[in-house]
Structure 1
Amino acid sequence: MSTTSTVTAHETSGSIKVKAEEKQEQTEYKYAHLLPTFPKDEHYPPLEPFEHVDPGHRALQHPNPRQFLENAKVSQLTPPAGEEIRGVNLATLTNDERDELALEVAKRKVLVLRDQQDFIERGPDFWLEWGRHFGRLHIHPTSGHPDGYPHLHLVYRDKHSTFNYEHSDRTIATSWHSDVSYERQPPGLTTLFLVAAPETGGDTVFTSQVTTLRRLSPDFVAFLRTLRATHSAHEQAEFSRAGNRGGVVRREPVVHEHPVIRRHPVTGEEALYVNRQFTRRIVGFKKEESDAILNFLYDHIDRSIDSQVRTHWEPYTVVLWDNRVTAHSAILDFTEEGAVRHGIRITPQAERPIPANPDLKLN
């Protein structure tokens, strides 16, 4: 794994000299075949609904649902969420052990697995097979992907450019979100690893949306259970259409309603399900009313220090998290150093969010 590479995804400088240097760097970079591409002729139809069966359900029937951790060293990262695990090789887990892993992710929200060189070096075809065990793989409508592998989402920034969904007009770069929450069936168990990372900085921070919800007063939570909110892909699509990221939109943007509080299909836990990046409006409320509720919740999430897990990207680290019950953000504290941060995300979709209030109807 590279920690100090200085490569670029494609030629962005007007300088011939810089372009030549970039081309040489790409040739020498071990993971150049995983750099983001943005084919202009790549388009996909709208996503169709599908039935999702969470693999964690199967693990509930196992005599020991944590059998896969029998010879591992497991350290709790914080009481609300997070475990660091050493001694488990993700690449060799059986299907039953993958189911147990899914249940552990659902319960602990974030798993940080160290020493996963075997998993990372197996390459794209294996990563796709891995992801399909947990759900239908998502093709991101605007992000870069490795050539020939549209189901692999890339996070990428180098000294010349960024291909992430970033905005530079805020005083704080932290941007809490749940991945592509605008989809009718957003992701569940998600896998991310970095193949190039800054020597320092570039961590990822997670917050438990189960815990952020529990911090609220019971009467307010009861009120939130009655609410639906829209999540929109339009702003992200327009960001790309404006020439940012890679300038492509592979699938037309959508807007979907989700419950403000959702219930996890395996654990039954309730979690707050709004995020500043994609949530837009409380359904049925006037703009000022909606803004007041959502901005309070966004600020509450922003300040959720006592619900958070911060992951430092040691070489050959793989992080798994449940997008249904967490929010996360990259920490962009390395950008002035010009370092490379190059990650691969495997993003299986899950069920349509289940309202905590069974009487809540979604359009």
Structure 2
Amino acid sequence: MNAITHNTVPTYQRISVKPLAVHIGAEISGVDLSRPLASEEIAEIRAALLQWKVIFFRDQHLSHAQHVAFGKQFGDLTLGHPVFGYEPGHPEVYSVGRDRFKSRFDGARLVRPWTGWHTDVTAAINPPAASILRGVVIPPYGGDTQWTNLVAAYHGLSPALRAFVDTLQGEHKFTPPEGNKARQEFVSKVAATPLISHHPLVRVHPETGEKALYVSPSFLKNIVGLHPRESEQLLALLFEHVVRPEYTVRFKWEEGSLAFWDNRSTAHLAPVDIYDTEFERQLYRITLVGDVPVGPDGKPSVSIEGEPVAAHSVE
């Protein structure tokens, strides 16, 4: 199974679902993720994910093995990260530590309203279907993560602009943030596993049929077929639009918190306020294998360089 399978349930009988914002985000309770789930629980969690785009759990103190086992109930898992590796002994787990970027970049990045927002690994031809992030060491305050609903953002555009972006594709790849200079570790790893893809600017969700404004500010570099100035201006408009506060939810982490988001209909923002403190922050992420995006015209994404992100197999 390479993506989350949608099983429609009329009501939630096995879990409790508490919405956190109008367009995105709900907190799930009444379930223990450390044990194998009943099929009814899996179906309801899937349905809540598709409805709310990102769902959150509290007081789930999982080991790496339990984290992986939970994720496998929803689909095949990738390696921790196709470019930047994984936790030793746990190939499906990627470390999201406070200082993970120190060895990759130098210099001061150019900060815009959308700086840092991204959808995971969109440089790949088949970006992950979903991501599951687990909080282990959490600062006493600060360090919140934000998500935005790309379906709501698409419908927030004018009909004329929606009709135009429906026809476009964008180029996604790994590059340093604007203003930063890549250090040798980043250069070497990207060169060893190059990933460049052309994805539709509007992605049709393979399960719900919803259209999402599939723009990932950290990875989407230009719009295919437009002149550079046209591309720059349109991307600035779209990037600014998708991070409007009304489309977003902000999550305050606790130890044992877990966030599970649909990577096909959301973008998210990692915190930078923690760099103004000495607080430690350590989370771990796993990702579910995704499919190739398809636009409203039925045309799939095109791989320019690199291989699809495959399911991790135990050798």
TM-score category of the 2 structures, normalised to the smaller one: 0.7 to 0.9
Q: Which has the larger radius of gyration?
A: 1
C-alpha distance in structure 2 between counterparts of 1:341 and 1:244, whole Å: 22
Deviations 1:145-202 (A, max 9, x none): 32122321111125x9846889742346951100001111111121101111111100
Q: Which residue of 2 aligns with 1:87?
A: 30
Q: Which residue of 2 aligns with 1:100?
A: 44
Amino acid at match of 1:310: R
SS in 1 for 2:135: strand
Q: Which has the higher helix share?
A: 1
Residues 163, 110 of structure 1: CA spacing in aligned structure 2 closer, same or farther, 3 A cutoff? farther
C-alpha distance in structure 1 between counterparts of 2:203 and 2:52, whole Å: 17
1:66 to 12, 24, 28: 12
How far apart are 1:246 and its partner, in Å? 11
Q: Which runs of 5+ in 2 are unaligned?
A: 303-315
Of all paired residues, the percent bearing the same amino acid is: 31
Q: Which runs of 5+ in 1 are unaligned?
A: 1-51
C-alpha distance in structure 2 between counterparts of 1:301 and 1:207, whole Å: 7
Mapped pair 1:227 → 2:179: no
Mapped pair 1:273 → 2:218: no
Q: Which residue of 2 aligns with 1:16?
A: none
Amino acid at match of 1:66: Y
1:306 to 246, 255, 262: 246
How far apart are 1:87 and its partner, in Å? 2.1
Amino acid at match of 1:116: Q
CA-atom RMSD in angstroms: 2.8
SS in 2 for 1:347: strand
SS in 1 for 2:222: strand
Deviations 1:6-46 (A, max 9, x none): xxxxxxxxxxxxxxxxxxxxxxxxxxxxxxxxxxxxxxxxx
C-alpha distance in structure 1 between counterparts of 2:106 and 2:43, whole Å: 34
Q: Which residue of 2 aligns with 1:114?
A: 58
Residue pairs, 1:63-212, within 5 angstroms: 66-69=12-15, 72=16, 74-92=17-35, 93-117=37-61, 120=62, 123-133=63-73, 134-143=75-84, 145-157=86-98, 162=102, 168-171=108-111, 174-212=115-153
Residues 361, 149 of structure 1: CA spacing in aligned structure 2 closer, same or farther, 3 A cutoff? closer
How far apart are 1:280 and its partner, in Å? 1.4
Residues 268, 164 of structure 1: CA spacing in aligned structure 2 closer, same or farther, 3 A cutoff? farther
How far apart are 1:293 and its partner, in Å? 1.2
TM-score by length of 2: 0.84
How far apart are 1:54 and its partner, in Å? 3.3
Amino acid at match of 1:305: P
Q: Is the 8 A contact 2:154 2:213 kept in 1?
A: yes
Q: Which residue of 1 aligns with 2:306?
A: none
C-alpha distance in structure 2 between counterparts of 1:273 and 1:325, whole Å: 7
Q: Is the 8 A contact 2:2 2:288 kept in 1?
A: no
Q: Is the 8 A contact 1:209 1:271 kept in 2?
A: yes
State how many pairs are aligned. 297
Q: Is the 8 A contact 2:129 2:289 kept in 1?
A: yes
SS in 2 for 1:297: helix
Residues 138, 286 of structure 1: CA spacing in aligned structure 2 closer, same or farther, 3 A cutoff? farther
Q: Is the 8 A contact 2:203 2:213 kept in 1?
A: yes
Q: Is the 8 A contact 2:125 2:301 kept in 1?
A: no
Amino acid at match of 2:284: I
How far apart are 1:65 and its partner, in Å? 6.5
Deviations 1:91-149 (A, max 9, x none): 231245224312221111011111212xx1xx223322332332342441343532122
Residue pairs, 1:216-255, within 5 angstroms: 216-235=157-176, 242-243=183-184, 248-249=189-190, 251-255=192-196
Q: Which has the higher strand share?
A: 2
C-alpha distance in structure 2 between counterparts of 1:96 and 1:230, whole Å: 40
How far apart are 1:249 and its partner, in Å? 4.9
How far apart are 1:220 and its partner, in Å? 0.6
SS in 1 for 2:41: helix
Higher mean alpha-carbon deviation, 324-333 vs 97-106, is at 97-106
How far apart are 1:84 and its partner, in Å? 1.3
C-alpha distance in structure 2 between counterparts of 1:166 and 1:324, whole Å: 31
TM-score by length of 1: 0.74
SS in 2 for 1:177: coil
Q: Which residue of 2 aligns with 1:340?
A: 280
SS in 2 for 1:137: coil
